[in-house]
Structure formats: structure tokens, C-alpha cells
Amino acid sequence: MTFMEHLPALQVVVPMLSAPLIVLLQPRGLAWAGATAAGLASFAIAIALAMAVLDGQTQVYAMGGWAAPYGIALEVDAFSALVLLLVTGAGAAALLAARVSVDRQIEPERQPLFYAAWLLGLAGLAGIVVSADAFNIFVFMEISSLASYILIAGGPDRRALPAVFKYLIMGTIGATFYLIGVGLIYMMTGTLNLADMQARIGDVVALNPILVAAGFITIGLALKAAVFPLHVWLPNAYTHAPHMVTVFLAACATKVALYVLIRFDSMVFQDRLSDHEFQFTLFALPLAVLGILVASSVAMFEGHLKRLLATSSVAQIGYILLGASFVSEAGITASAMHMFNHALAKGGLFLAVACLAFHFRDLRLSELGGAARRMPLTCAALVVCGLSLIGVPGTAGFISKWLLITAALESGLWGWSLVAVILVSSLMAVVYIWRIVEALYFQQASAEGDTSFAEAPLQLLLVTWAVALLNIFFGLFPHLPLALANGSAALLVGGAP
Amino acid sequence: MIPETAILTAICLPLAGALAIAVAGRISPNLREATTLLTAAALIWVVWGLLPTLMAGGRPAVEVSEVMPGLTIAFRVEPLGMLFAALASGLWLINSVYSIGYMRGNKEKNQTRFYVCFALALAATMGVAFAGNLFTLFLFYEVLTLSTYPLVSHKGDEATVRSARVYLGVLLCTSIGLFLPAIIWTYMAAGTGDFVHGGILAGKLEGPAIGLLLGLFVFGIGKAAVMPVHRWLPAAMVAPTPVSALLHAVAVVKAGVFAITKIIVYVFGIDFLFATPSSGWLLYMAAFTIITASLVALRQTNIKRLLAYSTIAQLSYVVMAAATLKPLAEVGAAIHMVAHAFGKITLFFAAGAIYVASKKTEIHQLRGIGRRMPWTMTAFTIGALSMIGVPPTAGFVSKWYILAGAFEAENLVAVFTIIASTVLNAAYFLPILYMAWFEREEAGAKAHGEAPFAAVLALCITALLTLAFFLFNGPVIELESQVVRALPL
Amino acid sequence: MKLLELLGYYNYWVFAVVLTVGLYAVIRKRNLIKKLIGLSIFQSAVFLLYITMDKVEGGTAPIIQKGVPDQVFSNPLPQVLILTAIVVGVSTLALGLAMVVRIKESYGTIEEHEILGAD
């Protein structure tokens, strides 16, 4: 086998094996460097994989040489490649920028363990994406979840602890639901391999257990993905987590759960359960619409910068689910694109927040007066990413809005009302982003506050600006993610092999 | 320069200028302003260099990137866009001269940011003017909105921020809420969004849907300030006067009416729309806006707000002319953009000059000011006469064409509206002129002279242009006639 | 007959009851430790489900013996799976308890409503 063929396995193995090595690297600078190297390596692997599957091929890797369905298979197709790109990209970018911010928030002696947990989280998320085996997905899901509980609770903010506890309870319930669903399917089909499941589910006579399984899996994953109204764990967890952890998790963690959800619903169930499309739409569409509208309205009145952005994430998850709920090629394309674009926009926004946190201990909007004068570059990057979140043309966010609206219009009679929902929520995004802008640019600095020029450390600022510029780049040249998203859609609903 | 290169240069030049201005601003104000003037002059050279090609019937086009299949960033120069670009670039230079006088005279803060954003706004304006399809137009339309926000909120105090919020809110809400769905609808119905002679929608849509789509476009393009989406324009008057002058009398509002005209001509096609009864409402809406805005203007006491409402009315002239759907009226629409631009920029320059010299902002304070500022008030008078449409000013030419188009369409509502609004225009401008020239200054008023030389120079040039356009409008009319004449595209 | 058939699925009933008991405890209990106990019970229910499905009547351990043809095996795979799931469950529980310890350290209580009141 050539090196290229091992890439799907290396995608998981590199960060996973680096984690224990990091713990051994006691000097904290070295731990950071090691973790970043591992993060960049996984990103490079993801890019190589994306290039390899661009033409519609699927990279299959049989663990230990045992072919599926007996062995555990890893598979990378266009959809997984896209999600891998954003997971490892977010991981690598956040790690690159992390050093200075983590130094301030994590005690030096705990840093090697912190970075190890980070890499385990990365390995878990990547593992979910490359697995072609339902149970394996569960295991990786729990690895990534356990790692992210640790990461979120790792900061100095004690409010993170109850938030993590809530996340842990809800996350475990979600994972267990998923496990029940997988068990039921295994009972009826005798296989755990996703492709095999898809093939064998056609022979199942008694469909009730499959239906129950679909329910358990959908709800379990919706919990993990923070789909409204199962999102209650998310805002507090993201708000009180260390800033760099928020960057990493907000960019990709929930999207991976959505990835599994979309994959299961459109590959395994859709073929067999009659009316499954209809049921899925009936379940997902109202939740998506409610999530978009309710979360956006809450964000409009939120006073804490980080929680505002976290709440907006719930709305954005609604967009992704909305696209998926059309169960059409256009819908899945829009959904996959929005995963990518939202990761860019939200990642950039939280990076800018991490920059701001260097000089503003309190991140409530009312305390951010004069920020633009002190940190003009940070604030400008934040505005660029904010525009992308709104979906202004020329930014990445616009591409997914366009695709989503096109998909909604294609979906028939309801299309126009959904377009209205998307547009109204975009306007709500204008409101909450502009509240931030006005707070940063026009609010009077508090009397005792320092008003001198004081930008964030260069390393952090560079990464922030790189992400901000990527938001514009992918708004003008979205060809790579778009090709992968189109490939995903063809794969999932278009009937392509 | 090859026309294709010139298009891209016209857009990149102000961008590069913005960068250079930002750098120069750190070194010295003189260097910064020299950079601005130099960029503006270079832009004129580039844009006006395209004129001969256009006059000869050439339609240079260039495609930059295919963002998504069918969705491209592409530019194509045609007579309407050429006129708009030539106008905006030409007035930018004059405006920069004026800005230097105004900003220095007023000792404004953050001048570098001001000049940088101004250059960015001009880049966006060039993009709007040369856009070859709806998507490109929308892209630069939004860039224009965003790049002018810092200009409107320049002062940064609470009242300004609130007005700027109205400005941005109305423009973004209308464009995202209405313009964007209209564009997507067009792309889905026609399969393309390219600007094509004769339109792309004929046969693709029918019945009331056409009227609805037209409505989405017209109200989605909030910059055209057709009532009821005009609120941002008076709000934007909190900006420094050069901003009001160039952007809110020339670039921004003109981008709005220009976009509407372009969409009517190149997306719908005038023949197609004329045959569609459901599109008739636009003309009445525009007529309503003209009359109402003029009535509101009558009651204004602040000079800039009066000019703002006058602008709203004048913009709807263009919309109404475009909606008349007759060749002569379309030419009238294009010419009125130019005529109004010359007149209104003169008026704003004069209002700004008065503010710099005397800090006066209200109309009743203008008694006898003609003696103190004869140059400024002469220019103001010429501008006001052009607004009313009195020969020998530019306003007369365009009104002539619009009226001719209205007669051609046998549309009495349009004819009546033009006559009524001319009377109203006279009713709110003539008292000001009378007050300024013939009434006596209040006792105890502070003595003051003219505004800084740069400002006076600029407003005299625009006043002269207003007069000159009455005499030398041949090339413009010839160019714009190409819009309605079938030409190879 | 119908009733008997339903009762015949008694292990599934046990699964459902244990699952519900666990879930109830997680939702209802205010004490964080009790919540974790509930979570454990909840997860145990799933272990029961998996063990149930692998049982083949008369089946033995899946070890091939010489001279015994056509042996009936219980399905070994779910047992393997559930071993993994138990490991995952134990780790989650351990982490949860660690969180409780840290919550106790910084808030001085492990009652949910008191913690919520504290910030």
C-alpha cells in the first residue's frame, strides 16, 4: 500500500498518538509546539484527502486489513472530506493562535495535559468523520465529547463547571440514545457497517424497530448537535470555556454531530422507510425554523459578547438543518456549504473575541467601549467575520445563504415562507452584529479604562486576520468547498455511487 | 489602455488609492490629500479613456471569477454605466478639492479614515457602474452601503450613531430582505442575471409575478429612496457635507436609480414591461414620491434636510422617467442623473460652505447672506434654478426629455406630476433665494466672509458645469441614445 | 396468547423500565451525584439491550471445540461492543465525578439550584 492509502487512518492516528507524547513534553512551549505540529499535520492530511476525493472517488481503508463488513472500515468521501477540512482546519488554526491565550488562562503545569486533551478531541472528531461503522462512530463521539468536557472545564472561569456538567449529562444521554438506535438496527440487520446497513435494511420485514431506531438516533444526534430546543447546554458551555477552546469547538463540534445525522438519515433510513423523507422533513424543518428565529431573537437582546455569538450558533445550526430537511441535492449542498462557511465566520469571530479578551476582562457589550480605538485591527477582523455571518455578498456567508434560498425556492409551495424566514433571520443577524459594532466603535470607554493603543499579540492577530481574509476569499472563490459540497449532495441524495 | 484593463483598473485604482491614503495619512496630511487628488485624477483619466470606445459602439466586457456555476463576477461597460462612472469619477476630483477645504476649515477628526472610506466608496461605485450582471451589481451595491457607513457616522456622537443606524438599517434591510430574493428569483426564472439589451425576463415570467418582482427590485434598492424606503436619506444628512454632496447627491442615490434604470432596461426590457399591465404601479408610486417629498421639503427649516427631500423627489423623477418605458424617457432618465448631480452637488457644496464660514444650518439664518458670500450664493442660485428646471441650466434639458417621453407615452399623470413638482420646487427654492439676496441681515450677526478657497473653487466649478451642460449636452445624449437604439451588444 | 407473547419479551421490558428510571433520576434529582447515579442506571439499560440481543437459545460461548460439530453460539459481537460501551460509561462517570469534586471545591455545594443561585 502506498502512503496515500493510509491517509484515512493517519487522520485519526496522528493526533491520537501525539496526545500521550505531548504529556511527556513537559516544558509548556514544547507541548504547544508539539500539539500545533500534530494539528497542522492532520490539516495537511485532510487537504490531501480532499484533493484525492475531489473527483468523486471514495477512499476506503480496512483497519488491520480486515475488509468490511467484518472489519472496521474507514471511508472518506466528498462529504467527510469537507467536514474533515473544517474540523482539522479549525483545530490547526486555533492551536496556532492558542499559545498566548492559553498561557493566560491555563496554569503552565497543566498545559501539556490540556493540549493532550485537545488532540484527543481532534482525533475523536476526525474519527467520527472517517468511520464507516456505526459503533465506531459512537466510540469516537465519546472520545471527542470527554475531551471537550475537559477542555471547557479547563479554564479559570468557575461558571464553566456547572455548564460542563450540564453538557456532560445531555451529551451522554444523546450518545446513549444513539447507541440504543444503533443496537436496534444491528438487531434487525446484523451489521454495523453503514454501507452494509444501507444494503441489508432493504431485507428487513418488521419495520417498527427500524422506525424506533431512527427516532433514537435522530434525537440523540440532535442533542449532540444542539438542535433547538435541545441546545440548552451550548450557550453556557461556549461562553465560559477558555477562549481558544470556544474557537475550536464552536467552529466544528456540533457540525460533526450534524454530519452523522445527515449521513444516517439520508443514507441508511431513506431507502427503506417509506415516507422517511417526509417524516424527516416534518421533524427537522419546524425545529430548524424555530431554532433560527428564536435563537436569533435571543441573540438580539443578549448583552454578553461570547454568549451572543454562542446563541447565534444555535440559529446557524438551524440553517444547516434547514438545508438538510429539504432532502434534495440543492438542500444538502447548501447545508454542507453552510457548515464550512459558518465554521469560518464563527471561528473568526471567536478568534477576534480571544484577541479582545487580552485587554477586556469583562466581555459584556456594555464594557467594550473604546475597543476600536485600542485594538483597531482586531475590531476590523471582527467586522469582516460578522459581515460573513450576516451573509453580505463577497463573503463566504453569502454563498451559503444564496444556496439555501435557492434550495428553499426549489422545495415548492413552502419555499417562499422559508425564504422569508431566512431573510428575516439575516436581518436579525444584522441587528446583533451591529450591536457589537456600535459597542466597539461608538461606545464611550469607561472612565477609568486605559485608552492607549494595545493590540493583541501578533501571533493571535495574524491567525485572526488569516481567517477573516479566508471569509472573503471563499466568498469570491468558493470552488473547493462547493465542489465537495456538490459531491456530498450527489452522494447522499443524488443516487451517485 | 485596453478597455478591458481599464475596467479593472477603474475598480482597483481607488482601492489602491485607499491603501496609499491610509499609509500617507500616517506621514502627513498634505501627502494624504495629494494622494487623494492624484488618485481621483488618475481615475478620471482611466474612466474617461473608455468614452471613445463606448461612443463607437464598443461594449468592453471582462469576467473576473465564476463564483458558482452561472454566478459570475463580471463587468460590462454600456452607456448608462459609462455615464454614471464618468460622472462619479469626475465629481470625485472636484469633491476632493472641496473636502480638503471643508475638513480643514472645520478641523474634523479622523480625516484619514474619511479619505480612505471615500476612496473605498468610489471603488464600489465604479463596480456598480460597470457591473455586468445582477450579482456583481448586488456585491458592489452592498460594499457601497458598508463603506459609506463610517462616513455617515463620522462624527461619532450619539445622535449621529442613531442616524447612521437608520441609514444602515434601511439600506441593508431592503437590500437583503427584498433585493436579494428578487435577484435569486430572476436567476431562477431566467437562468441568468446578465444585463442584456432587451431584457432577459421576456417570456420567463407572466402576469402579476412581473409586477411583484419589479416591486421587490424597486423597494429592495433602497438607495433610490422611492417612498416609503426614503427614510435613510434625511438621516444620512448628519454626515459631513462633502459626504452628503458626493455620496448622497451623486454616488449612493445615483447608484440606486441607476440600478433601477438598468434593471428596467436590461433585465425586464422596456417593451416587455410596457406590455405588462401589472408593472404600471411603479410610475404612480414614483409620482407620489415626487409630490409628497416636495411637499415635505416645503416644510423643512434645515438647509441640508430640505436638500435631502429635494433629492428624494428628484430621484423619483429618474424612476418615473424609467417607468414611463419610452425611449425618450429612458434617455431623459439618464440625463437627469447627470443634471441633478451637477445641480445638487452645487447646492450641497454651497450649504457646506455656508456652514464652514458661518456655522449656519437653518434656512431662516440665511437672510442677507448673499452679500457676505456672493460666490457661494451665486452658485447656490444656479443649482436651485437647475432643480426647478429653468433654462439655461442642466435641469431644463432633462426635464424636457422626460416630459417628451411622458407625452410620447400619452401618460397624463406623468405630465401633471412634472408640472406640479416644478411649481413646488419653485415654491421652496425661490423664497430662499429671495431671503438670501434681498432681505436684510439680522442685526448683531457675526461678520464672516467666504469659505476657504478650495471649497469656493469647487462649488464654482460645479455651478459652471450646471450651466455648461445646458449648452454642451450633445455627446451625452448621443451616448445615451444607444441605450434604447438596438445596437450589437 | 397475545399477553404471553408480550411477557415473553420481558427482558425488553426490563430495559425500558431501567432506562426510564435512569432518565427520571437524571432529570428530577437536584443533587449532582444522584444525577450521575441516574445517568449510570440509564446507561446500564442499554447494556441490557445489547446483551439481550446476542443471546441465542441454547447457545454457548463462541469457542470452537474439536469434535463438536454444529455448535450453537451466542453472538459474541454485542458483548464486545458493550464491553467498549461500559468502558466509555465508566470514563464518563469518572469525569462527571471529577467535575462534581471541582464544583464542590469552588461553589461549596453540589445542589443544582444552589449552584445556579451562586452566579
Does residue A8 lie within any of the structural domains? no
State pLDDT tens for residues A171-185: 999 999 999 999 988
**Domain enclosing residue A444, as ranges:** 275-497
Residue A1 pLDDT > 60, yes or no?
no
B154 → chain A, closest CA residue: A442
B141 → chain A, closest CA residue: A393
- Render B272-315 in DSSP notation, one character per residue: HHHT-GGGTHHHHHHHHHHHHHHHHHHT--BHHHHHHHHHHHHH
Does residue C17 lie within any of the structural domains? yes
Element (H or E) spanning A113, and its range? Answer: helix A111-130
Range A381-387 average pLDDT:
93
State whether B173 and A427 contact (CB < 8 Å). Answer: yes
B-chain residues near A341 (CB < 8 A): none
State pLDDT tens for residues B101-142: 888 877 777 888 889 998 999 999 999 999 989 999 999 999
Does residue C60 lie within any of the structural domains? no
3-state secondary structure of C94: helix
C-alpha distances in Å from residue B184, one per residue of A394, A416, B187, B257: 16, 12, 5, 20
Residue B486 has φ and ψ, to the nearest 5°, of -70, 115
Cell triple for A109: 503545569
pLDDT at A141: 93
How far apart are alpha carbons A101 and B350 in whole angstroms?
Answer: 54
3-state secondary structure of A54: coil
C-chain residues near A184 (CB < 8 A): 49
Q: Which chains touch A (3 or more CB pairs under 8 A)?
A: B, C
Cβ(B154)–Cβ(B240) under 8 Å?
A: yes
Residue B447 pLDDT > 90, yes or no?
no
Residue B489 pLDDT > 60, yes or no?
no
**A417 touching chain B per CB within 8 A:** no
Question: How far off is chain B from A384, nearest CA to CA, in Å?
Answer: 11
How far apart are alpha carbons A114 and A120 in whole angstroms?
Answer: 10
State whether C53 and A186 contact (CB < 8 Å). Answer: yes
Cβ(B448)–Cβ(B331) under 8 Å?
A: no
Cα angle, residue B404 at apex, residues B398 and B405 outer, rounded to 5° = 95
State whether B181 and A419 contact (CB < 8 Å). Answer: yes
Does residue A259 lie within any of the structural domains? no
**C50 touching chain A per CB within 8 A:** yes
ipTM value for the complex = 0.91
Cβ–Cβ contacts within 10 Å for residue B104, how many?
16
How far apart are alpha carbons B164 and B170 in whole angstroms?
Answer: 10
Share of chain A above pLDDT 70, in %: 95
Range B143-163 average pLDDT:
87
Residue B483 pLDDT > 80, yes or no?
no
Range A9-17 average pLDDT:
89
Residues A91-109: b if buried by 16+ CB within 10 A, e if exposed: bbbbbbbbbbbbeebbeee
State pLDDT tens for residues B333-347: 888 988 999 999 999
Cβ–Cβ contacts within 10 Å for residue A460, how many?
25
Residue B83 pLDDT > 60, yes or no?
yes
Does residue C8 lie within any of the structural domains? yes
How far apart are alpha carbons A468 and A465 in whole angstroms?
Answer: 5
Question: How far off is chain A from C46, nearest CA to CA, in Å?
Answer: 6
B-chain residues near A427 (CB < 8 A): 172-173, 176-177
Does residue C46 lie within any of the structural domains? yes
Which CATH number goes with the domain that contains C113?
1.10.287.3510
B-chain residues near A419 (CB < 8 A): 181
Does residue A450 lie within any of the structural domains? yes
DSSP code of A155? S
Cell triple for A423: 431573510
Report the DSSP beta bridge partners of residue A133. A193
A-chain residues near C85 (CB < 8 A): 138, 179
pLDDT at A382: 93
Does residue A441 lie within any of the structural domains? yes
Question: How far off is chain A from B489, nearest CA to CA, in Å?
Answer: 27
How far apart are alpha carbons C71 and C75 in whole angstroms?
Answer: 12
B165 → chain A, closest CA residue: A434
**A477 touching chain B per CB within 8 A:** yes
- DSSP3 helix / strand / coil % (chain B, rounded to 5): 75, 5, 20
C-chain residues near A162 (CB < 8 A): 103, 107, 112, 115-116
Left (φ > 0), alpha (ψ -120 to 50) or beta: where does B97 sit?
alpha
State whether A176 and C88 contact (CB < 8 Å). Answer: no
pLDDT at A412: 72
Residues C40-51: b if buried by 16+ CB within 10 A, e if exposed: bbbbbbbbbbbe
Q: Which of B315, B366, B373 is nearest to B339 (CA)?
A: B315
**A423 touching chain C per CB within 8 A:** no
Interface test with A, best of C99, C106, C116 (most A CBs within 10 A): C99
A-chain residues near C103 (CB < 8 A): 161-162, 165
Residue bearing the bigger pLDDT, B488 or A5: A5
Left (φ > 0), alpha (ψ -120 to 50) or beta: where does A54 sit?
alpha
How many cross-chain Cβ pairs, A to B, lie less than 8 Å apart? Answer: 66
Cβ(B397)–Cβ(B339) under 8 Å?
A: yes
Cell triple for B426: 419653485
Interface test with C, best of A136, A145, A172 (most C CBs within 10 A): A172
A-chain residues near C53 (CB < 8 A): 183, 186-187
**C44 touching chain A per CB within 8 A:** no
> Which amino acid is present at B441?
E
B176 → chain A, closest CA residue: A423
pLDDT at A275: 67
C-alpha distances in Å from residue A143, one per residue of A126, A242, A247, C87, C92: 11, 20, 19, 11, 10
- Render B362-410 in DSSP notation, one character per residue: BGGGGTTHHHH-HHHHHHHHHHHHHHHT-TTSHHHHHHHHHHHHHHHTT
Residue bearing the bigger pLDDT, C64 or A417: A417
Residue B204 pLDDT > 60, yes or no?
yes
A141 → chain C, closest CA residue: C88
3-state secondary structure of B170: helix
**Domain enclosing residue C85, as ranges:** 2-55+74-118
**B181 touching chain A per CB within 8 A:** yes
Reported pTM:
0.90
How far apart are alpha carbons B408 and B244 in whole angstroms?
Answer: 35
Range A216-240 average pLDDT:
90
| Per-position pLDDT tens, chain C of length 119 | 577 777 777 888 888 899 999 999 998 888 999 999 999 999 999 988 888 887 777 777 777 777 777 777 777 888 888 899 999 999 999 999 999 999 998 888 888 888 888 77
pLDDT band at A494 (very low <50, low <70, confident <90, very high): low
C-alpha distances in Å from residue A382, one per residue of A359, A388, A394, A396, B90: 15, 10, 16, 14, 35
Range B300-307 average pLDDT:
88
Report the DSSP beta bridge partners of residue A61. A74
Share of chain B above pLDDT 70, in %: 99
State whether A442 and B168 contact (CB < 8 Å). Answer: no
Give the range among A374-388, A444-458, B81-95 with minimum mean pLDDT: A444-458
Q: What mean pLDDT, rounded, does chain B reach?
A: 87
Interface test with C, best of A176, A180, A193, A212 (most C CBs within 10 A): A176
State pLDDT tens for residues B393-442: 888 988 988 998 888 888 888 899 999 999 999 998 999 999 888 888 77
How far apart are alpha carbons B225 and B310 in whole angstroms?
Answer: 11
State whether A409 and B169 contact (CB < 8 Å). Answer: no
Q: Which chains touch C (3 or more CB pairs under 8 A)?
A: A
How far apart are alpha carbons A124 and A130 in whole angstroms?
Answer: 10
pLDDT band at A497 (very low <50, low <70, confident <90, very high): very low
Does residue A71 lie within any of the structural domains? no
How many cross-chain Cβ pairs, A to C, lie less than 8 Å apart? Answer: 72
State whether C102 and A153 contact (CB < 8 Å). Answer: yes
Range A416-424 average pLDDT:
89
Question: Pairing state of beta strands B71-76 and B61-68?
Answer: antiparallel
Residue bearing the bigger pLDDT, C36 or A272: C36
Contacts of B421 (CB under 8 A, 6+ apart): B290, B291, B294, B313, B317
**C32 touching chain A per CB within 8 A:** yes
> Which amino acid is present at A197?
M
Residue bearing the bigger pLDDT, A272 or A3: A3
pLDDT at A122: 94
- Out of C49, C91, C115, whose CB is closest to A180? C49
Cβ(A340)–Cβ(A485) under 8 Å?
A: yes
State whether C95 and A173 contact (CB < 8 Å). Answer: no
**C85 touching chain A per CB within 8 A:** yes
Long-range contacts of B5-8 (CB under 8 A, 24+ apart): B6/B46, B6/B47, B6/B49, B6/B50, B6/B60, B7/B50, B7/B60, B7/B62, B7/B75, B7/B77, B7/B130, B8/B62, B8/B64, B8/B75
State whether B146 and A387 contact (CB < 8 Å). Answer: yes
The residues spanned by each domain of chain B are 3-484
Range A132-150 average pLDDT:
92
- DSSP3 helix / strand / coil % (chain C, rounded to 5): 75, 5, 25
Range B353-357 average pLDDT:
87
Q: Residue written as cell 469607561?
A: A446
pLDDT band at A450 (very low <50, low <70, confident <90, very high): low
pLDDT at A449: 60
Residue A399 pLDDT > 50, yes or no?
yes
Q: Write the burial class of residue A320 (CB in 10 Å: 0-12 exposed, 13-18 middle, 19+ buried).
A: buried
How far apart are alpha carbons B103 and B345 in whole angstroms?
Answer: 17
pLDDT band at A310 (very low <50, low <70, confident <90, very high): very high
Contacts of B266 (CB under 8 A, 6+ apart): B78, B195, B196, B197, B199, B200
Cell triple for B199: 431584457
A with B: touching (≥3 Cβ pairs within 8 Å): yes
Gyration radius from chain B CA atoms: 21
C-chain residues near A149 (CB < 8 A): 95, 99
C-alpha distances in Å from residue A113, one per residue of A22, A110, A116: 8, 6, 5
How far apart are alpha carbons B312 and A344 in whole angstroms?
Answer: 40
C-alpha distances in Å from residue C35, one per residue of A206, A354, B326, C104, C108: 36, 34, 76, 15, 18
State whether A139 and C49 contact (CB < 8 Å). Answer: no
Q: Which chains touch B (3 or more CB pairs under 8 A)?
A: A
Count structural domains, chain C.
1
**B165 touching chain A per CB within 8 A:** yes
Cell triple for A484: 465537495
Count structural domains, chain A.
1
- Out of B73, B146, B184, whose CB is closest to A405? B184
Q: Which of A357, A419, A359, A393 is nearest to A474 (CA)?
A: A393
Contacts of A83 (CB under 8 A, 6+ apart): A129, A252, A255, A256, A259, A339
Range A192-209 average pLDDT:
81
State pLDDT tens for residues B87-99: 899 989 988 888 8
A with C: touching (≥3 Cβ pairs within 8 Å): yes
- Out of A146, A179, A187, whose CB is closest to C85? A179
> Which amino acid is present at B198?
G
Does residue C68 lie within any of the structural domains? no
pLDDT at C96: 93
Does residue A65 lie within any of the structural domains? no
Cell triple for B30: 498634505
Range B53-67 average pLDDT:
85
Q: Which of A217, A425, A405 is nearest to A323 (CA)?
A: A405
Residue A496 pLDDT > 50, yes or no?
no
How far apart are alpha carbons B263 and A455 in whole angstroms?
Answer: 45
The sign of the dihedral angle between the CA atoms of A339, A344, A346, A350 is: positive
